[in-house]
Amino acid sequence: MILRPALVLVAMALANPAGACATASTGAKCASVGDGTGLGGGAGKWLKAPERVVEHDVGGTLPRGEFNVVLNTAYHGLPPATADWLWYSVGYDYLRVDRRTMEILERRPR
């Protein structure tokens, strides 16, 4: 008879949705799932992911001293740095940057 108390609680929640919300007495709003399909009832809404903003394009200049140099390039699947350029970690990308001019030569996603 373990199911009986659980059935009583479910029946109470269905009969009185406001009573099923633990924060109703505090004045906070409670979300509902509507008809159980998850499609209605105002419980949520679809959000579109924001477009990814590209701050540093190939051909641009990376500000000196503001980003981390990638040291263990093999671990990250990148070719080793040379005397002419380095890899920098910028946001969700790796940037190949000229050592002297800080010009961005290549962009690779992580």
How many other CB atoms sit within 10 Å of the CB of residue 33?
A: 13
d(CA 98, CA 105): 7
Residue 37 domain-assigned? Answer: yes
Boundary-marking domain end, from 44, 60, 79:
44
Give per-residue pLDDT as tens, 64-89. Answer: 888 889 998 899 899 998 899 999 99
Give per-residue pLDDT as tens, 18-67. Answer: 455 666 667 776 665 554 544 555 556 777 877 766 677 888 888 888 88
Residue 104 predicted with pLDDT over 90: yes
Residue 102 — pLDDT band, cuts 50, 70, 90? very high
Residue 9 domain-assigned? Answer: yes
What's the structural domain count of the chain? 2
- Could you tell me the sign of the dihedral formed by the alpha carbons of 58, 88, 109, 79, in that order? positive
- The region that residue 91 occupies, defined by phi over 0 for left and psi between -120 and 50 for alpha, beta otherwise, is left
Length of the chain: 110
Residue 83 domain-assigned? Answer: yes
Q: Which of 101, 106, 51 is nearest to 79 (CA)?
A: 106
What pLDDT is recorded for position 86? 93
Domain that holds residue 34: 1-44
Residues 1 and 37 in one domain: yes
What pLDDT is recorded for position 57? 83
Please report which residue ranges of 1-110 form alpha helices under DSSP H.
3-15
Residue 11 domain-assigned? Answer: yes
Residue 51 domain-assigned? Answer: no
Provide the mean pLDDT of the chain: 76
d(CA 24, CA 30): 7
